[in-house]
Structure 1
Amino acid sequence: MKKQSLIRTLSVFVLFFIGTNTFTAQEKTTALFQEIEGKVVDAESNNDLVFADIVLDHSNISTVTNSDGYFALKIPEDHINGTITISYLGYEKIEIPVKEFEAHKKIRLSPVTTALEEVSIVTTPKNAEAIVRECLSKKSSLYNNENTLMTAFYRETIKKKRKNASLSEAVVKIHKQPYDNVRSDYIELVKARKTTDYKKLDTLALKLQGGPFSNLYTDMIKYPEYIFNEQSLPKYNFSFDSATKINDRLIYVINFKQKETLNTPLYYGKLFIDAETLALTNAVYSLNVSNRTLSSEYFVRKKPRRAEVYPTETAYRVNYRTKNGKWHYAYSNISLTFKVNWEGKLFNSTYTLNSEMAVTDWEINENKLTKNRRQVLRPTTILTEKASGFSDPRFWGAYNIIEPEKSIQSAIKKIQKQLKRT
């Protein structure tokens, strides 16, 4: 029962009902900046590289590429002479001066050429589970153990089939507690906007409960109890996959999945662990939803009596970055696909819910982190009830965001046209 409760916390609750709208917003002081943008692709195949890291050197300013490989980054005036580093797991990193960025609109990353198979045979340990256990035990030595105030951009979308039905975006402040203590992080809302087209939801208003907290809890180093703890670790099988590289460092790739004798839905996926330090750099995983009844209980909080709702696919990703030898949470993405079967109806409906959060800046706060209690979110928060309406393209000011994918860009343009007409 305890494990089920933990999975429910990590798994985003999906509520199916009509709700009301309110508004919360707080402006940031305008700062002078230069915005650069580009697209990151594979140099050989020309395929988009999704979730590539874009980092301004000698600062904590960063973002990631979107699902189309695009990004935009706002560079403060005092960093115009700086350098941008673009990196991606399994590829050679590239460094480009900010002043030369106009000539690099399409950035091509080359796959690493090291004979990783040979390296893997020589250096990979034999016991994958032992590596995972040691990795999880290193949060006190390898991860940031100071009070940290992180600025992050959060976006959640709901699509019916391939059409956007709901879009919410927010800038938040994450009051990140040291990794070596048990205190939970808390989140403060800075500003947010949203739009919902209830006509596309077939009288259903799908809402994500938890909002940014659901993405924050994918930080399995800070919150190992939601995936791997002493009770759950023995329920998994671990094995080595082919090694890879990131930023010239060898990375162990470890597969994990629940043991076949277990019926309770658990996770399966890959862990990417730095071979030298055993720090977790990335994780990509899913929840086993083959048991329709149990998996639906993990996700669905409320639904109409005449509807059957169950997940068909889940996907989670968490990325970490390192600064001055210390790692920290940088980005996470959650994607959930649901089927809704209505009693007496021949056809069902498919909905995809996606949430992502990227840390775009951060600073060490040596004093105890203070918070604006009026703006603090709770793990039960529904972001769509904390935001209302859309504004002009200058809405985000100097804050960095994740560039919207093509379908979201199209939706935003439609919203802005409607605003102009009204």
Structure 2
Amino acid sequence: MKKTHFLKLYASTFIMMLLAVFSLHAQVDFMEYNGKVIDGKSKKTLEAVSLNVNETNISTITNSEGEFTLKVPKKYLDSKVVISILGYNTRVLPLSELSKKDNKIMLYEAITELSAVSVSAYKNAESLVKKVFNDKNKNIQDESVYMTAFYRETIKRRNRNVSLTEAVVNILKQPNASFQRDAIQLGKARKSTDYRRLDTVSVKLQGGPFSAIYLDVMKYPEYIFTDETISSYNFSFDEPTTINNRSVFVVSFTPKNNSLSINYNGKLYIDVNTLALVSANYALDVSDINKSKNLLVRKKPSDVIVYPLEANYKVDYKAKGNKWYYSYSNLSLKFKVNKKREIFNKVYTLSSEMAVTDWEVNTADVRIKNKDRLRPTVIITDAISGFSDPNFWGEYNLIEPDKSIQTAIDKIRKNIEKQKGKAKTVNGIP
């Protein structure tokens, strides 16, 4: 046998072996479940429902249309999934009862009755809220935790998507009592932006994964309540509710007057037994445009004024043992950009959300190096090619895109195909 022929045969065999190895590693090591969660009575879809694999920290949430995708490592296929949301009875289903696609899970509203002792213990809603924040270190995560989370951010001009960012990030969550800030590392990301339609937004918006993590009001109370400002709000009890079969106080709050530079109104959901914050939903008071103008930007040209029209925030916590951990947050900002010497104002909406999909106590003392840490001013680099791969996220859990986001992704994929087609024509490839 000639030497050259032998080498070719050897190379061919070696490549086949490599392909076999790659194929072995490429085998899917998880099961994927898709479906929708709905109200069992009204049949309306339910948003931000948590689906958690029992006795693990693997989870996901439903999107704005009640849809979910849950990826479960095969070693946990004998487990159950816990489906829960505020105000509804929790359901626990064996994974073996779920099909791979088109699952329809129904939840039913819970009837909550607090005992006379619970009601009489806290007649003053303000004193209850103060106790929640003063005693937070007793109930909230008190160790370093390493989290994996899925982040999505969209920017719309009017009703048209002009920017879409998705990322898997690693979060080094510092102990709640620590003065150290949480660190975030970018794991995998893709982004597509139509800069032609963002030409008037030459401002630095307060966005990115840090905007979502800073909604953790137990770790960063200064962004909503401080010892000085908490007394500037009126607090009152609403009808109680339930989550995971636990009774929850519902406390509404509104500003007493217009003395604060930033005012909020909203609801706090407080676990009756532990007095831990379960969830918070609140909104920025944008009624005074002189106070709120330029509030949502860090940097802008001198001839641009940004007026917030809406600013809504939400954060959820999840219990593990006797401690509560940051689980999910989202924000929705609608703002008007007014540029001098331009007749028409531009209206934009920025929405972002982040869901923790897995986590573990940082017993190994894992750290994120300074060079790998994202900065609060980060702009995630464009990686448009990621949208061409429908299996881009692999085993990572994510928030299923709603129809508007899916439409945007489909358009990006079509544009990529067009670009590939043009490239082939230019290169003379038929």
TM-score range, shorter-chain basis? 0.7 to 0.9
**Letter in structure 1 aligned against 2:142:** N
> Aligned pair 1:389/2:384, yes or no?
yes
Residues 62, 154 of structure 1: CA spacing in aligned structure 2 closer, same or farther, 3 A cutoff? same
Question: Could you tell me which residue of structure 2 aligns to residue 353 of structure 1?
Answer: 350
**Letter in structure 2 aligned against 1:375:** D
Question: Could you tell me which residue of structure 2 aligns to residue 329 of structure 1?
Answer: 326
Larger displacement relative to structure 2 (412-421 or 255-264): 255-264
Cα deviation for residue 105 of structure 1 reads 1.2
In structure 2, distance between residues paired with 1:159 and 1:45: 31
Question: Could you tell me which residue of structure 2 aligns to residue 154 of structure 1?
Answer: 151
Cα deviation for residue 119 of structure 1 reads 6.5
Question: Could you tell me which residue of structure 1 aligns to residue 49 of structure 2?
Answer: 52
In structure 2, distance between residues paired with 1:245 and 1:330: 17
**Letter in structure 1 aligned against 2:137:** S
Cα deviation for residue 37 of structure 1 reads 1.1
In structure 1, distance between residues paired with 2:196 and 2:260: 38
Cα deviation for residue 226 of structure 1 reads 1.7
* Structure 1 residues not aligned, in runs of 5+: 1-28
Aligned partner of residue 197 in structure 2, secondary structure: helix
Residues 293, 216 of structure 1: CA spacing in aligned structure 2 closer, same or farther, 3 A cutoff? same
Residues 223, 263 of structure 1: CA spacing in aligned structure 2 closer, same or farther, 3 A cutoff? closer
**Letter in structure 1 aligned against 2:110:** V
> Aligned pair 1:168/2:168, yes or no?
no
% same residue: 47
**Letter in structure 1 aligned against 2:189:** A
Question: Could you tell me which residue of structure 2 aligns to residue 22 of structure 1?
Answer: none
Residues 56, 208 of structure 1: CA spacing in aligned structure 2 closer, same or farther, 3 A cutoff? farther
Question: Could you tell me which residue of structure 2 aligns to residue 89 of structure 1?
Answer: 86
In structure 1, distance between residues paired with 2:228 and 2:287: 22
Larger displacement relative to structure 2 (276-285 or 91-100): 91-100
> Aligned pair 1:109/2:107, yes or no?
yes
> Aligned pair 1:244/2:231, yes or no?
no
**Letter in structure 2 aligned against 1:266:** N
Residues 322, 121 of structure 1: CA spacing in aligned structure 2 closer, same or farther, 3 A cutoff? closer
Question: Could you tell me which residue of structure 2 aligns to residue 67 of structure 1?
Answer: 64
- Which has the higher relative contact order, 1 or 2, with Cα contacts under 8 A spaced 6 or more apart? 1
Cα deviation for residue 294 of structure 1 reads 2.0
In structure 1, distance between residues paired with 2:92 and 2:183: 34
8 Å contact 1:207–1:382 — kept in the other structure?
no
Instruction: Select 2:210's aligned residue among 192, 210, 213.
Output: 213
Cα deviation for residue 203 of structure 1 reads 4.6
Q: CA RMSD in A?
A: 2.1
8 Å contact 1:271–1:280 — kept in the other structure?
yes
Structure-to-structure mapping, 1:171-182, within 5 angstroms: 171-182=168-179
Q: What is the CA deviation profile of residues 323-347 of structure 1, one whole-angstrom value per residue up to 9, with x for unaligned ones?
A: 1121000000011001123445554
In structure 2, distance between residues paired with 1:197 and 1:109: 40
Instruction: Select 2:406's aligned residue among 405, 409, 417.
Output: 409
Question: Could you tell me which residue of structure 2 aligns to residue 13 of structure 1?
Answer: none
Larger displacement relative to structure 2 (245-254 or 119-128): 119-128
8 Å contact 1:120–1:243 — kept in the other structure?
no
Q: What is the CA deviation profile of residues 232-285 of structure 1, one whole-angstrom value per residue up to 9, with x for unaligned ones?
A: 111111111111111111110001111125252211100000111101000000
Question: Could you tell me which residue of structure 2 aligns to residue 32 of structure 1?
Answer: 29
Residues 64, 123 of structure 1: CA spacing in aligned structure 2 closer, same or farther, 3 A cutoff? farther
In structure 1, distance between residues paired with 2:204 and 2:399: 21
In structure 2, distance between residues paired with 1:205 and 1:121: 52
In structure 1, distance between residues paired with 2:331 and 2:166: 15
Q: What is the CA deviation profile of residues 300-330 of structure 1, one whole-angstrom value per residue up to 9, with x for unaligned ones?
A: 2344554432001010000000111210000
**Letter in structure 2 aligned against 1:388:** A
8 Å contact 2:294–2:305 — kept in the other structure?
no
Larger displacement relative to structure 2 (122-131 or 156-165): 122-131
Larger displacement relative to structure 2 (98-107 or 143-152): 98-107
In structure 1, distance between residues paired with 2:201 and 2:274: 48
> What TM-score do the two structures reach when normalised by structure 1?
0.87
In structure 2, distance between residues paired with 1:135 and 1:356: 25
Residues 327, 166 of structure 1: CA spacing in aligned structure 2 closer, same or farther, 3 A cutoff? same
Aligned partner of residue 216 in structure 2, secondary structure: coil
Aligned partner of residue 215 in structure 1, secondary structure: helix
Structure-to-structure mapping, 1:360-371, within 5 angstroms: 360-371=357-368
Residues 250, 232 of structure 1: CA spacing in aligned structure 2 closer, same or farther, 3 A cutoff? same
Cα deviation for residue 382 of structure 1 reads 2.3
Q: Which has the larger radius of gyration?
A: 2
Cα deviation for residue 370 of structure 1 reads 1.4
Cα deviation for residue 200 of structure 1 reads 2.9
> Aligned pair 1:135/2:132, yes or no?
yes
Cα deviation for residue 388 of structure 1 reads 2.3
In structure 2, distance between residues paired with 1:209 and 1:115: 41
Larger displacement relative to structure 2 (241-250 or 342-351): 342-351
Instruction: Select 2:270's aligned residue among 260, 268, 273.
Output: 273
Cα deviation for residue 420 of structure 1 reads 2.3
Cα deviation for residue 202 of structure 1 reads 4.8
**Letter in structure 2 aligned against 1:188:** Q
